[in-house]
Structure 1
Amino acid sequence: MREQRRKLILGMSLGVLSGRPHAAAQGKPRLRVLAWPGYAEPEVIKSFEQSSGASVELTLIDSDLDLWQKMNAKRGADFDVFAVNTAELTRYVEQGLVANIEAGLIPNLAQQLPRFRRSAAIPGVGVGAQTLGVPFAFAEMGLIYDRRQMQRPPDSVTALWDPHLRGRVIAYDGGTHNFSLAAQVLRLPTPFKLAESDWAPAVDRLIALRRNVAGFYTRPEESVALFKRRQAVLMFANFGRQQLLLLKSAGVDADYVIPSEGALAWLDCWVVSSAAQQNTKLAHAWINHLLEQPASHLLTSRQGLGNTTQASADYRADDKLLWLQAVESEERRNLLWGRIISGDRASKVLAT
């Protein structure tokens, strides 16, 4: 199963339960939307319905696997537009579930920040000259530190391996992202595609990380408890700034940095289903509507996520964000990580 990246959703659109659609009004054009909670807030849906004369049928998903299963159940026939991250988009394209984006139908593309208008620089959002996804929401995985114990902010992911911080570092329990961190430390060309010769040094780096870390977490709330209980100084924030908010709420004088090597980051895009057929223009109108200021503002203020149209003091134009891509083998990464976390030596970890 693919490594799940969870969002801390602060509100639920229309009170809809995951997987159950909001009923559309009869006698109107119907747009069928598949998305994460918080991406289509009630007031956003209402304003779209008023401006378009259509009704919105919203179905919520709670994981990448849930999204994949729903889109594959009937070859996407149940949905006109959906939200998916760039690391997953490729396999939807390969299955013929995605239609091309017609940029002329989305004038608000011009409102996006420069980094998101350069689609050629974002792996997975296009094939050749064709655009397949419109960036909408993002979050990066930076470093969180306790300002009372670390007066100087860390500037590199290598700080997680700092021997002076041994026993005072908290890290994420997941093979996919941890091998990407090891690739960054090893200065490999990309953190997402390890060559055969890269596996042994990457395993050595992760064994060293295991020895330096006080505890590993899988949930945001667990990371806060670990950070406080271990009196930690530094943490790899797999869930990004949402963890920073949780730590501050728990009384920790925490701050956040994006390391100089760049931060792993997920980017969700709106995509038109190849099954949209008669609703293609309506699907594009929906994407255009979601790029307007009210929807972007709510995404950030209510959900704590980055949006693609509004500048934020949290991000500098020169911050390096490494948009997640499909890795060479999630299965191998997670198998080896399971051996590493169990305390195996490198020779045993790599044994076939």
Structure 2
Amino acid sequence: MSVVVRRAIRGWFACLRAGNVVTSLAVILFLLGFFWTATLADSGSPRKAVLRVLAWPGYADDDWISAFEKRFHAKVEVTFVDSDEALWARMHSAAPPPFDVLAANTAEIQRYAHDGLLAPLDLSLIPNRSRQRPYFRQLDAIGGLVTERTAYAIPFTYSSMGLIYDRKQIAVAPHSMLALWDPRYRGKVLDFNSAQHNFSFTALALGYADPFRLSPPQMKTVARKLVELRRNLLTYYTLPEEATALFVQHRVALMFGNYGTQQVESLRRAGVDVGYVIPDEGALAWLDCWAIARNSGNRELAYEWINYMLQPAIGASLTQREGLANTLTPAPGEEPRAGGQHLVWLQRVESTGQREALWQRIEAGDRLRSFRQ
């Protein structure tokens, strides 16, 4: 409250005590005029639009946000998640969801679009798509992004899940994920602790047409194959830091690289001479995309955000800071075939529950014969 207003109020009380009605009315009129003017001034000043972003760490750095806010005279509020489950929960934390734009992988995008949580995209409002590599502009060729000729998401960043091997122990790069079962590497193999990915990459290695939609007989065959893999395993890992420590300490020869090139860089920083290969049958890969929430309160700004994220400077920073590939330039050391066709983007699986139940038995050490029924 200003000094002038405080003095006017004190004067008003003094007039009332003195019984000076005329003067007190004059003070009241002054105060009403003052507050009316202040209200008009406040209403005349432009308020910043707010963009609510739901994303993974590393996808909305502070300097990127500051530049965006300055350019579009907006305020960006970011909520970070650390798992697909957390992302799903956040999107269901209110009705309507309190977010405008979100980042999710292809499998989740398919799930969200199916449940009516995403807005159809007008691709003409994202001109920076022209900067992307041709493969990533062909949205209908990437499963999960287009439904009934309607696009729901734009590729942003990705990582393959290939094989990481110790060059000192394996002179020639392996050509298939089946190398994980090679008896020469008994006790020297690391595998990622995941039901979904293990069933999918094994199905891919066995030549199944769709590693995400397994028939009951295929499911049993894959389960038995994963039981056999235990003969070669040192252990399962969960975090990339854990994998690096185990690789170094136990002189691991071969590893299913769930975190791809991020793990390669971590191991090389730890002093290990490792190689990285995409198997002949292809490799699973996650592709994170930007999408707009169906109940977004600011779609115009959401489109600007997606377009902004496709700038070369953002892509270069993403690769440099996070070790992740961007969709504008080839990943360091990447040699994709036929436009990247050998990367198999994650899709929804036939039965998450069944895979999880079988995986618990495999991880617990159930014997092979129990999976033959």
Task: Please report the TM-score for the alignment, with normalisation by the length of structure 2.
Answer: 0.84
C-alpha distance in 2 between matches for 1:118 and 1:268: 15
What is the CA RMSD across the aligned residues, in angstroms? 1.7
Match of 1:100, SS state, is: coil
Match among 117, 139, 144 for residue 164 of structure 2? 144
Q: 2:192 aligns with which of 172, 189, 205?
A: 172
> What is the rounded CA distance, in whole Å, between the counterparts of 1:70 and 1:346 in structure 2?
40
Which residue among 324, 328, 332 is the counterpart of 1:309? 328
**Equivalent residues in 2 for 1:273-284, closer than 5 Å:** 273-277=293-297, 279-284=298-303
Decide which of 194, 198, 202 is 2:218's aligned counterpart: 198
Which of residues 52, 58, 63 is equivalent to 1:38?
58
- Most deviating of 57-66 and 307-316: 307-316
What's the CA shift for 1:44? Answer: 1.3
- Normalized per residue, the structure richer in helix is 2
How far off its partner does 1:230 sit? 2.4
2:116 is aligned with 1:99: no
**Residue 98 of structure 1, CA deviation:** 0.3
Distance 1:92 1:312 in 2: 28
Farther-moved stretch of structure 1 (321-330 vs 92-101): 92-101
Deviation at 1:290, TM superposition (A): 0.5
Residue 222 of structure 1: how far off its partner (Å): 1.6
Q: 2:291 maps to which residue?
A: 271
CA deviation digits over 1:116-143, x for unaligned, max 9?
Answer: 1111111111102110000001111111
1:348 is displaced (CA, Å) by 2.4
Kept in 2, the 8 Å contact 1:336–1:350? The answer is: no
Counterpart of 1:221?
241
- Is 1:236 equivalent to 2:256 in the alignment? yes
**Equivalent position of 1:19 in the other structure:** none
**Aligned runs of 1:24-103 on 2, under 5 Å?**
27-103=47-123
- Please tell me whether residue 162 in structure 1 is matched to residue 178 in structure 2: no
DSSP 3-state at the match of 2:67? helix
1:326 to 321, 336, 348: 348
**Helix, strand or coil for the counterpart of 1:84?**
strand
The letter of the residue matching 1:296 is G
The Cα offsets for residues 300-341 of structure 1, whole Å up to 9 and x where unpaired, read as 111111111123332223151000001111221121111112
List alignment gaps of at least 5 residues for structure 2.
1-45
Gaps of 5+ in 1: 1-25
Q: Is the 8 A contact 1:339 1:349 kept in 2?
A: no
CA–CA separation in structure 2 for the residues paired with 1:346 and 1:329: 22
The structure with more radius of gyration? 2
Alpha-carbon offset, residue 55 of structure 1: 1.7
Report the Cα distance in structure 1 between the residues aligned to 2:254 and 2:128, rounded to whole angstroms.
40
CA contact (8 A) 1:145 1:255 kept: yes
Shift of 1:295: 1.2
Q: Which moved more, 1:61-70 or 1:125-134?
A: 61-70
* Residue of structure 2 in register with 1:346 after alignment: 368
Answer whether contact 1:336 1:349 (CA < 8 A) is retained.
no
Shift of 1:349: 4.0
Q: How many residues align?
A: 326
Structure 1 residue aligned with 2:311: 292
Q: In structure 2, what is the Cα distance between the partners aligned to 1:81 and 1:344?
A: 44
Percent identity between matched residues is 45
3-state DSSP of counterpart to 1:295: helix
- Structure 1 Cα separation of the partners of residues 81 and 204 of structure 2: 32
Structure 1 residue 109: Cα displacement: 0.7
Are the aligned partners of 2:177 and 2:202 in contact in 1 as well (CA < 8 Å)?
no
Q: Aligned with 1:211: secondary structure? A: coil
* Maintained 8 Å contact 2:201/2:283: no
Shift of the alpha carbon at 1:163?
1.4
- Check whether the contact 1:244–1:254 (CA below 8 A) recurs between aligned residues: yes
1:15-58 residue CA offsets vs partner (Å, 9 max, x unmatched): xxxxxxxxxxx811111111111111122112212221222122
Q: Are the counterparts in 2 of residues 134 and 271 from structure 1 also a CA contact under 8 Å?
A: yes
Amino acid paired to 1:86: T
- Counterpart Cα distance in 1 of 2:121 and 2:270: 43
Match of 2:204 in 1: 184
| Higher deviation after alignment, 66-75 or 298-307 | 66-75
Equivalent residue, structure 1, for 2:128: 108
* Structure 1 residues 75 and 137: CA distance shift in structure 2, 3 A: farther
